[in-house]
């Protein structure tokens, strides 16, 4: 399952930008190369799943609109390659920040199924340091 489509990219960023980013034909064909765009979307989904898989069953279902937006922002960043603008980089950085928050339980995916490993937002980590145990809220 994918979290976005080529049509989602076109809706968000415009056909002209997608043609510029995907049309690698020589001479240029003047159309969106859907194979290139689909490849960037697949790369974005792979990156996203490394974060979401910590807390949620994959693929995520139902699909929140925010996840479509994040997928598009990451795919767009990948398509820009070495021509990344400040705006595209900022949107990518925002997407990663949100994904990290989801992985850490500071942000949620409403309606998504929790991961089978039992990880929840209330899970506490145990750290042993110099003979002392640290449990979520204090030292013992």
- Residue 44 pLDDT: 98
pLDDT, one tens digit per residue, over 105-128 is 999 988 888 888 654 433 434 444
Closest CA to 104 of 128, 136, 78: 136
- Residue 35 pLDDT: 98
Which residue shows structure tokens 């980590």? 125
Tokens at residue 33, please? 């190369």
- Residue 116 pLDDT: 80
Question: Which of helix, strand or coil describes residue 85?
Answer: coil
Distance CA 82, CA 71 (A): 19
- Residue 122 pLDDT: 37
Closest CA to 57 of 126, 122, 125, 1: 1
pLDDT, one tens digit per residue, over 10-62 is 999 999 999 999 999 999 999 999 999 999 999 999 999 999 999 999 999 89
* Cβ–Cβ under 8 Å, residues 136 and 124: yes
pTM of the model: 0.81
Q: What residues contact residue 15 under an 8 Å CB cut-off, 6+ apart?
A: 32
Look at residue 134 and tell me whether its pLDDT is greater than 70.
Answer: no
Q: Give the sign of the dihedral formed by CA 52, CA 9, CA 4, CA 27.
A: negative
Cross-strand pairs, 5: none
């Amino acid at each position: 399952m994918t979290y976005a489509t080529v049509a989602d990219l076109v809706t968000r960023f415009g056909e002209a930008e997608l043609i510029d980013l995907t049309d690698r034909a020589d001479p240029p064909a003047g159309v969106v190369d859907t194979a290139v765009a689909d490849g960037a979307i697949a790369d974005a989904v792979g990156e996203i799943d490394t974060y979401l898989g910590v807390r949620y069953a994959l693929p995520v279902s139902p699909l929140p609109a925010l996840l479509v937006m994040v997928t598009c922002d990451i795919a767009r960043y990948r398509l820009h390659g070495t021509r990344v603008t400040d705006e595209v980089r900022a949107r990518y950085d925002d997407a990663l920040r949100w994904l990290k928050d989801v992985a850490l339980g500071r942000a949620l995916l409403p309606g998504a199924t929790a991961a089978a490993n039992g990880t929840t937002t209330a899970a506490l980590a145990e750290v042993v340091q110099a003979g002392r145990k640290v449990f979520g809220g204090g030292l013992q």
